[in-house]
Amino acid sequence: MQEFIYDSTSADEHELPQDELDSLLAHWRAANYLAAGQIYLMDNPLLREELVPEHIKPRLLGHWGTVPGLNLVYTHLSRVARIRGQNALCVWGPGHGGPSVLANSWLEGSYADIHPDVSRDGAGMARLFRQFSFPGGVPSHVAPDVPGSIHEGGELGYSLAHAYGAAFDHPELLVACVIGDGEAETGPLATSWHSNKFLDPVHDGAVLPILHLNGYKIANPTVLARLPQTELYDLLRGYGYRPIEVAGDDPALVHRAMAGAMARAMGRIDEIQARARAGSSTERAHWPVIVLRTPKGWTGPVEVDGVPVEGTWRAHQVPLSEVRTNPDHLRMLRDWMLSYEPEKLFDEDGRPREHVLRCLPEGALRLGSNPHANGGLLLRTLPKPPLEDHAVEVKRRGGSVRSATAVLGHYLAEIMRLTADRRDFRLVGPDETASNRLDGVYAETSKTWQEEILPVDEHLSRDGRVMEVLSEHLCQGWLEGYLLTGRHGVFSTYEAFAHIIDSMANQHIKWLRTARELPWRAPVASLNYLLTSHVWRQDHNGFSHQDPGFIDHVLNKSPEVVRVYLPPDANTTLVVAENVLAGRDNVNVVVAGKQPRFDWLSLEEARAHCARGAGIWEWAGTESAAEPDVVLACAGDVPTLEVLAAAQLLRLHLPELAVRVVNVLDLTRLMPEKEHPHGYSDFDFDALFTRDRPVIFAYHGYPWLIHRLAYRRTVHPHMHVRGYREFGTTTTPFDMVVLNDLDRYRLVMDVIDRVPGLARRAAALRQEMSDVRTRHHAWIRVHGDDLPEVTEWTWEG
């Protein structure tokens, strides 16, 4: 087990020529200088004038602690890219790493490529400094604004999952990933280490985690930094890695060790890839990890106001906090920045001197210019298999039942087949692909699995492009990394448990919202959620599995980015899938149940319905030329079924009532056109829902969401919404809708209650509807199943 423990203090790779070491040190010092300058200075960038309080920003909003370590990694990863011509990108995990990565991209020139005004000279340096964490400038994270970044690091926990996502299906790529020891305490990061069980050394690139133990978070030591070394190594070996340690605080020694560690790591990666690609090993690889121990705030102020700062949590943010008002602090800042000897790093015009840049690669090999970090540049259009080959035939509405996700599974299989060589499409999910009836996809690919495969196993292979792991965090993180580096994918999951990645979805939506505004960022493929096993069919799993609120969650976010679709049957599900898979820079939520359900629309009708997003289903209603007496609206597969059943009951019992049936497939159609690009104008909305007729709306999720979307519409005071109201348990499917008053009988009662004049005329029908609900209740408690009149119901169109 211990064959590959490296020790950074002994190996000969450390024997760097002195001039190369000098240039690495110079580059690192320059980056440190530029990072400190961004945090503090709004003028006098080269300190050629006496430093005065007016040069200092009024609000000091930056984080120094992590910077020197990130600069060390940037320097040495750049060197590897240069020496080896290595295609490399880095995921910068630590929060607020912006000053470091911005400094480095300025040094290598990738920043000026996209922002010519922030040029590689004194004037550009002044702009670089001033804009940082300044109104109208750039934020302090490694946000979309930062070239070379695919990971903001604002919310911690996802760096390593993103790195793996970037490496999948990029066999020539090296993805380094700096993991802060704070981030390492999060759950998502703790399980991300296991991603190595899903990375195929033949078809995927390499991930090189660099665990940066600078010892402290905001106010505390970190769990991993305080472990005895043997225990930490046990942990990393247990995760399947082979640690290489670099530790120290003497810059020259650490740079030597880091160069050696990178060389050893790359050697190990070469060996793993060569053996796997030659077919001489199918054993799971044990990849290297670099453990980097350097002081927090290294090379910054050692002690401030009598307390230690460098190497403690006090260096986390700004080590000197009173620079504008305390002359001692101002002097310490000057001394600190001058300690990097800027005059040796930058020429008279503020340009980096030649030896500072000697370790850097050119062109697209620069970390800030690698197209993988601007994945839209690499994105290829996904094949669009003809839907005709997968659509279901609808001879008679409601005449057949199909699982929409099963139909979709075969369509996804076809996309898998068409991308078998390109390998730019993946399906991720937490152990639920088969449970969600998408297993048709296994006809064309398998689940990726690098551990032992036993004869009893099914659909496992080293190179599969379905990814299953019981961690929604990993699924989401992998897919984000995959999409942001220019590929396509779908995340299928139980509806309720999408909330596990609420916060990750937030961050991805925020990323896309910001990236959309940056002309140099090419659009990437949309992130597509397929929420199945939804609230209404969690009768068997019970209350804990019932939650339709992910829709509410995403609809709070930027409307440019978010879309929500509720296809009511198999063909609409296919059309929606085709649409969202072709999308760019969106987050699409598609809710489609996995249980067999009626087919309503032919492919042609489905296309027309999806294009409209919402529409009148004339064939289901009874209205004639005039305005209807009532509108029965529905969104979602189960509500659609209940509305159609209610419409049928009304047609049978109250044939004179003019009923309009409206199906809403694109939920954002309900929003005002000023608030969402898909929003209907009032004119179009009124044309569907009328201005003053009672609207009984059966909605898939929490009913108040419909009110929040539609409260400005003229008809809103007449809208009555039924939906899930957090009433559920282990029971039957129909009991779920009864418990939440969404059932067909209740909807008929709602119509009777709300159409003027109907209450008296239809009192008997109302009583009958109420009785059948009571009968249902009694029946299921005896028989453990739904009434035959529900389970055997058919549409009579």
- Write down the least CB distance from residue 519 to its own copies, Å: 17
> Which of 708/775 has CB closer to its own copies?
708
How many residues in the chain? 797
Structure tokens at 223: 């769990």
Element (H, E) at 643: helix 637-653
Count of residues near its own copies by CB under 8 A:
119
> Which of 444/468 has CB closer to its own copies?
468
Strand blocks (E) in 189-337 = 206-212, 242-247, 288-293, 303-304, 307-308
The span from the CA of 547 to the CA of 596, in Å, is: 20
> Which of 402/553 has CB closer to its own copies?
553
Find the part of the chain contacting its own copies (CB under 8 A) among 373-381, 392-400, 535-543, 573-581: 535-543
775 counts as binding its own copies under rule CB under 8 A: no
> Which of 558/770 has CB closer to its own copies?
558
Find the part of the chain contacting its own copies (CB under 8 A) among 85-93, 293-301, 468-476, 620-628: 468-476
Find the part of the chain contacting its own copies (CB under 8 A) among 149-157, 367-375, 565-573, 741-749: 149-157
Q: Which of these, 354, 402, 411, lies nearest to 384 by C-alpha position?
A: 411
Structure tokens at 410: 């075969």
Query: Is-contact 538 573, C-beta < 8 A?
Result: no
The span from the CA of 25 to the CA of 340, in Å, is: 10
> Which of 21/61 has CB closer to its own copies?
61
Among 202, 364, 401, 470, the residue binding its own copies under the rule CB under 8 A is 470
Residue 212, classed as helix, strand or coil, is strand
Phi-psi region of 56 (alpha: psi -120 to 50; beta: other; left: phi over 0): beta
Phi-psi region of 700 (alpha: psi -120 to 50; beta: other; left: phi over 0): alpha
138 counts as binding its own copies under rule CB under 8 A: yes
Residues of this chain, 486-525, that bind its own copies according to CB under 8 A: 496-497, 499-500, 502-503, 506-507, 510, 513-514
Phi, psi of 632 (to 5 degrees): -100, 110
Element (H, E) at 91: strand 88-92
- Write down the least CB distance from residue 225 to its own copies, Å: 9
764 counts as binding its own copies under rule CB under 8 A: no
The span from the CA of 486 to the CA of 524, in Å, is: 6
- Write down the least CB distance from residue 537 to its own copies, Å: 12
Query: Is-contact 413 433, C-beta < 8 A?
Result: no
Provide the 8-state DSSP code for 536: G
Task: Find where tokens 């292979």 sit.
Answer: 461
Amino acid occupying residue 669:
R
552 counts as binding its own copies under rule CB under 8 A: yes
Structure tokens at 90: 């880095």
Among 296, 397, 410, 473, the residue binding its own copies under the rule CB under 8 A is 473
Residues of this chain, 178-197, that bind its own copies according to CB under 8 A: 182-183, 185-194, 197
Element (H, E) at 6: strand 6-7
Among 43, 113, 234, 347, the residue binding its own copies under the rule CB under 8 A is 234
> Which of 201/430 has CB closer to its own copies?
430
Among 275, 353, 543, 754, the residue binding its own copies under the rule CB under 8 A is 543
> Which of 30/211 has CB closer to its own copies?
211
> Which of 23/492 has CB closer to its own copies?
492
The span from the CA of 728 to the CA of 795, in Å, is: 27
Query: Is-contact 178 143, C-beta < 8 A?
Result: no
Residues of this chain, 50-89, that bind its own copies according to CB under 8 A: 57-59, 61
424 counts as binding its own copies under rule CB under 8 A: no
Among 28, 106, 168, 449, the residue binding its own copies under the rule CB under 8 A is 449
Residue 34 sits at the vertex; the CA angle it makes with 28 and 39, to the nearest 5 degrees, is 130
Among 83, 378, 460, 522, the residue binding its own copies under the rule CB under 8 A is 460
Residues of this chain, 584-643, that bind its own copies according to CB under 8 A: none
Task: Find where tokens 């998408």 sit.
Answer: 438
> Which of 152/480 has CB closer to its own copies?
152
- Write down the least CB distance from residue 346 to its own copies, Å: 24
The span from the CA of 172 to the CA of 169, in Å, is: 9
137 counts as binding its own copies under rule CB under 8 A: yes
Pairing state between β 401-403 and 596-598: antiparallel
Chain centroid, CA 180 distance in Å = 20
- Write down the least CB distance from residue 201 to its own copies, Å: 18
Residue 292, classed as helix, strand or coil, is strand
343 counts as binding its own copies under rule CB under 8 A: no
Sort 47 into a burial class: Cβ within 10 Å, 0-12 / 13-18 / 19+: middle
140 counts as binding its own copies under rule CB under 8 A: yes
The span from the CA of 138 to the CA of 130, in Å, is: 9
- Write down the least CB distance from residue 361 to its own copies, Å: 30
672 counts as binding its own copies under rule CB under 8 A: no
- Write down the least CB distance from residue 186 to its own copies, Å: 5
540 counts as binding its own copies under rule CB under 8 A: yes
Provide the 8-state DSSP code for 562: E
- Write down the least CB distance from residue 507 to its own copies, Å: 6
Among 731, 742, 744, 790, the residue binding its own copies under the rule CB under 8 A is 731
- Could you give the string, one character per residue 367-406, with x where binding to its own copies holds by CB under 8 A and - elsewhere? ----------------------------------------
Provide the 8-state DSSP code for 391: P
CA distances from 141 to 85, 157, 227 (A): 28, 14, 28
544 counts as binding its own copies under rule CB under 8 A: yes
Sort 683 into a burial class: Cβ within 10 Å, 0-12 / 13-18 / 19+: exposed
Among 108, 152, 169, 414, the residue binding its own copies under the rule CB under 8 A is 152
Dihedral, CA of residue 619, residue 621, residue 622 and residue 626, to nearest 10: -100
Residue 576 sits at the vertex; the CA angle it makes with 518 and 522, to the nearest 5 degrees, is 15
Strand blocks (E) in 678-794 = 695-699, 719-722
> Which of 352/703 has CB closer to its own copies?
703
735 counts as binding its own copies under rule CB under 8 A: yes
Amino acid occupying residue 167:
A
Q: How far from each other are the two terminal CA atoms of the chain, in whole angstroms?
A: 69
- Write down the least CB distance from residue 571 to its own copies, Å: 27
113 counts as binding its own copies under rule CB under 8 A: no
556 counts as binding its own copies under rule CB under 8 A: yes
The span from the CA of 731 to the CA of 542, in Å, is: 7
Among 67, 143, 357, 479, the residue binding its own copies under the rule CB under 8 A is 143
571 counts as binding its own copies under rule CB under 8 A: no
156 counts as binding its own copies under rule CB under 8 A: yes
541 counts as binding its own copies under rule CB under 8 A: yes
- Write down the least CB distance from residue 161 to its own copies, Å: 9
The span from the CA of 591 to the CA of 635, in Å, is: 10
- Write down the least CB distance from residue 552 to its own copies, Å: 6
Among 303, 335, 341, 431, the residue binding its own copies under the rule CB under 8 A is 431
Residues of this chain, 253-292, that bind its own copies according to CB under 8 A: none
CA distances from 249 to 72, 142, 255, 300, 734 (A): 12, 25, 10, 12, 67
- Could you give the string, one character per residue 683-722, with x where binding to its own copies holds by CB under 8 A and - elsewhere? -------------------x-xx-xx--x----x------
- Write down the least CB distance from residue 210 to its own copies, Å: 18
Residues of this chain, 289-308, that bind its own copies according to CB under 8 A: 308
